[in-house]
Amino acid sequence: MNTPEWFYDERVQRIAPEKLKLLMSLAQQLEGKTSQKEMLPVLMGAAASASRRGLSFTRDEFDLIFRIMKEGKSAEEQAQMDRTLEKAQKLFSKR
List Cα–Cα distances, 76 to 6, 80, 92, in angstroms: 19, 6, 24
Of 88, 80, 4, 94, residue with least CA distance to 46: 88
Of 50, 58, 5, 57, residue with least CA distance to 27: 5
Of 44, 43, 95, residue with least CA distance to 69: 43
Residue 39 contacts residue 91 (beta carbons within 8 Å): no
Q: What is the pLDDT of residues 42-94, one digit of tens each?
A: 877 887 888 888 888 887 887 787 777 777 788 988 888 888 778 777 766 55
Q: pTM score, two decimals?
A: 0.65
